[in-house]
Amino acid sequence: MTMIQIAMAGAGAAGMRYTQHLLKTGQAQIAGIFDETQEAAAELAAHCGCSVFASLEALLEAVPEGVVFVCSRQPENKARHVIQALQQGRHVIAELPAASRLQDVRDMLAAAGPSAKRLLFTNPERFYFHNADVKKRIAGGAIGSIGMINAKRYSPLPSEHADSISYGAASDDSVSLSPAIQPGANQAAWTDSIRWSNGQQEPEGQEAPAGALYRLALSDIGHLRWIAGDVASVYAMRTVAEGLDYVLVTLKFQCGAIANIEAYWGYPGGYVSAAEYAGPKGVIRYDSRKTNALSIHKTGHAGAHAQAKHQSSPSFRDPEVAEFTHLLSCITDSQQPVSTAADVLETLKVTDAALQSIRSGQPVEMAAFAAADQLDDGKGDGERA
């Protein structure tokens, strides 16, 4: 088997986890690593047996053609790095959330079109076994046509010691955690773009997209679009106070289903993910608090906000390794990805519509929202057939 060469941008905890998953596929080798923090890059490179590069430009120039670029950067840096790699003729696998602005995703898609290279996004929600099972059962008519969905995603406030506390899905977990809750995403990274408003309505343009809506609810919006199809309208409310961000999003789907999504950042307990799908033939429920088979309690850091506790349901199969195996196959065998770049763009549109609803206090019709937000001339799906 010919090994796929990987160029990594990002050597933080998320980049380290991605590297481990890629190596576990048995299909990939790490050719080089770039990170502004040289110590982190050197540590990861020593583990992989590859070279460290001081800049993205140096990395892309040094690695041979055919190398796949994997980007696990923060949203504010991701678009620039992804576009640069695509323009140099590299296939790209980028971490969700794709970006904090629709225009950034459009720019990525525009760069991918002329390059004839694949632009792929990780989406672990679609590879967790309980989510795949729910999708299969609903598609098979187990509960009939979906009428109502209730979903919630609660997360504690990340601590200043988050680099040493894992908030992402552990490699042996089947519990679904938001892709935004990554190891290394410390409190400052989450709060820099939050304007604490003590529950008051947020004026237009006062803060960059962030918080519970983009860090938590976005994952459920994307997941429920996968389950129930396109969204017809959005209504959302938000309460923000010091150390707490709560968002309630109501989606009406074109199929007629209604979904309520709760996103709560600053939850005093541990991470919670739950969903309930109701139809005329029955109800399907999932709750991470009721499926955990293992609970680990550790001595926490002094002053840490997050709970020094990890609950999981270990599995012999690793869903994130399965995801990277799938993504690599999309490159080598031209498979259609489970989560397309167009999916990512549409999910971000719905999330932006929710933000507009929060600001206006009114529901937003997606048809009108899309008409007012026309794509650029560079619109494309970013992927080859």
Domain CATH for 93 = 3.40.50.720
Confirm whether 373 is domain-assigned.
no
How much is the pLDDT for 376? 42
Residues 86 and 230 in one domain: no
* Domain assignment present for 345: no
**What was the pLDDT predicted at 169?**
36
Extract the residue ranges of the chain whose pLDDT is less than 70.
Answer: 1, 73-76, 158-209, 292-316, 374-385
Asked whether residue 331 is domain-assigned, the answer is: yes
Mark whether 70 and 150 lie in a shared domain: no
Q: How far apart are the first and last CA of the chain?
A: 24
184 and 98 part of one domain: no
**In-domain check, residue 80:** yes
What's residue 209's pLDDT? 62
Distance CA 156, CA 227 (A): 27
Output the CA–CA distances (angstroms, integers) from residue 131 to 216, 274, 364, in the order listed. 16, 11, 28
Question: Does a structural domain hold residue 10?
Answer: yes
Angle of CA points 327, 328, 329, to nearest 5°: 90
**116 lies in some domain:** yes
User: Into how many domains does the chain fold?
Assistant: 2
Range list of β-strands (E), 36-190 = 51-53, 68-71, 92-94, 119-121, 148-155
Q: What is the dihedral of CA 183, 354, 204, 373, to 10 degrees?
A: 110
* Paired tokens of 110: 């525009």
Closest CA to 15 of 91, 62, 77: 77
235 and 309 share one domain? yes
CB contact set of 165 (below 8 Å; sequence gap of 6+): 159, 183, 301, 304, 306, 308
**Are residues 135 and 116 located together in one domain of the fold?**
no
3-state secondary structure 132-146: HHHHHHHHCCCCCCC
Specify the CATH number for the domain of residue 301.
3.30.360.10
Range of the domain at 260: 130-316
DSSP conformational letter for 190: H
87 and 154 fall within a common domain: no
Q: Whose structure tokens read 């109502």?
A: 148
Whether residue 126 contacts residue 235, with contact meaning beta carbons closer than 8 Å, is answered with no
The answer on 153 and 41 residing in a single domain is no
Q: Is residue 162 part of a domain?
A: yes
Residues 286 and 188: their CA atoms lie apart, in Å, by 32
**pLDDT at 353 (0 to 100):** 96
Whether 249 is covered by a domain: the verdict is yes
The two structure tokens encoding residue 24: 């576990």
Q: How far is residue 151's CA from residue 264's CA, in Å, rounded to a whole number?
A: 11
